[in-house]
Each structure stands twice: as structure tokens, then as C-alpha cells.
Structure 1
Amino acid sequence: MRDIAFIFFLAAVVCVTSGMGCGIQMAISEDHLLAPAHAHLNLVGWTTLALFGLYYRLTPAAAQGILPRVHAGLAILGVAFMTPGIAMVIVGGSPALASAGAILTLASMLLFLVTVARYGLGAAA
């Protein structure tokens, strides 16, 4: 199985590729109604997930055990729920999916905060 840094980077690249597709579709159609969903997909999906992957690559001790996998699950599910949830709210739907995604994303970031506080940054000297 691939390591946790790879999982985060793979998810990040899927997000940015999807985000680019959404951006191109908005540009071609000249309909930017869903720009907030597109922005969250790129910011939370591409940028945040990629930064998590970099952290775990630079801090190997933090990449061990079950917590990094829980972190990945929360982070990836957060993006997967939040982005379409935001789009649904924009077109008049329920905020439930966006809210669930936001809560998962917050839980992911809180777990990352604990991880960074515990392991610091970089390999142990």
C-alpha cells in the first residue's frame, strides 16, 4: 500500500484536476454561479491536502500509525462532501451536505493541529 503522503497527494491532484475542469466549464459557459464550490475544491482539496502530504513526507514519525489514516479519511471526506454541498446550497438545496463536509474538514484540521503540536516539523535529529 502507498504511504500516507502519497494518499494525500493523489487526492490533492484529483481535486485540482476536477477544479480545473470546473473552472474551464465555467469559463466556456460564462456562468460562474458555482465559483464558491470551485474555489473550495481548489483551496481545501488541492492546497490543503497537498500541504498535509508535504508535512507527512517531511515528518516521517507523524506518518506512522492509524492517526494519519484517520486524518486522511476525515480530510478527503470533508472535501468530497463540502464541495458538492456548497454547489447544492447555491442552487437552492439543503445545507446538510456542506455542513457535514465543513465539520469533517474542521475535525481533520484539529487532528492535524494535534499532530503538528506532538511531532513538530521535520525528521527528528
Structure 2
Amino acid sequence: MGVKLIKISVVYFVIGVCIGLGMSMTHSFVLTPVHAHINLLGWTALTLAGIIYHLFPQAAATKWAKLHFWLHNIGLPLMMVGVIFVVYGYEAFVLATAIGGVLVTLGVISFAIAVLQNVRVSSLT
């Protein structure tokens, strides 16, 4: 699970950097929220979760970790595609953005449960 999350986080990192490069080249920063959320929730959060799951395999082996992976990686792209359309004026995509955001939030809660139930000081020694 840890390795899967680290690998998918790199995909989000590439996407986020490419969006940032595109914005800087065009001097249009309308996609700043997408750039920021992909880098934070995709690259940073999933890299850290992957490292935690790698260090604490008992947390990674739970149903909560699997739920976290799927909710986060379905919700984040849905939310980001929704935000792209919303910032360009397509208000009908607010619902997709909200659904994606709820899925990511539920994924993060699943991650928290996996960590709180399975990560202990004695796990590293």
C-alpha cells in the first residue's frame, strides 16, 4: 500500500507541476486552486501517507487503508475536474466538485482510523 501511494503521488506531482508551468507560461492563473490541491492532496498527502504505511505495515494491511486509497484516488480527480469546469464558469460541476471533496474527506478519515488504530511506538522497534 505504501509503495502504491508513493507511486500514484508522483503522478499527481507531475500533473501539478505541469499545470503550474502552463499557468506561468500563459500568465493565466485561473487554475491555481487545481494546482494547489493536486500538489497538496495528491503529491504531499499521498506521499506522506505512503511513507507512514511503509513504516507501519500493520496499518497498511487494514480495510481502512484500502478504503483510503480508493476514496482518495477516485475523489481527488473528480474534485479537480469539477473545479476546472467551475472556475471556467460551468456551475453544473459544483456537485461533482462537492462529491469528490466528500470522497477525499472520507478517505482521509479512513487513513486517520488506520493510523490511530494501528500505529504504535513499539511498531518501529
Provide runs of 4+ in structure 1 moved above 4 Å. none
Query: What are the within-5 Å matches in structure 2 for residues 30-45 of structure 1?
Result: 30-45=27-42
Q: Deviations over 1:10-45 (max 9, x none)?
A: 110000101111110100001001111111111111
Task: Specify every segment of 5 or more residues in structure 2 that has no aligned partner in the other structure, as ranges.
Answer: none
Q: Measured at CA, do residues 48 and 120 of structure 1 come closer, stay the same or move farther in structure 2, by a change above 3 Å?
A: same
Instruction: State the match for 1:104 in structure 2.
Output: 103
Q: CA separation of 1:88/1:121 partners in 2, compared to 1, >3 Å: closer, same or farther?
A: farther
- Could you tell me whether the CA contact under 8 Å between 1:74 and 1:105 is conserved in 2? yes
Counterpart CA distance in 2 for 1:84 and 1:21 is 15
Q: Over the residues paired in the alignment, what is the CA RMSD in angstroms?
A: 1.4
Aligned equivalents of 1:91, 1:15: Cα separation in 2: 21
Judging changes above 3 Å, is the alpha-carbon distance between structure 1 residues 117 and 6 closer, same or farther for their aligned structure 2 residues? same
TM-score by length of 2: 0.90
Q: Secondary structure at the match of 2:37?
A: helix
Flag the structure with higher helix content: 2
| Aligned ranges 1:53-64 → 2 under 5 Å | 53-64=50-61
Note the residue ranges of structure 1 that are not aligned, 5 or more in a row.
none
TM-score, with length taken from structure 1: 0.90
The count of aligned residue pairs is 122
Identity of aligned residues (%): 28
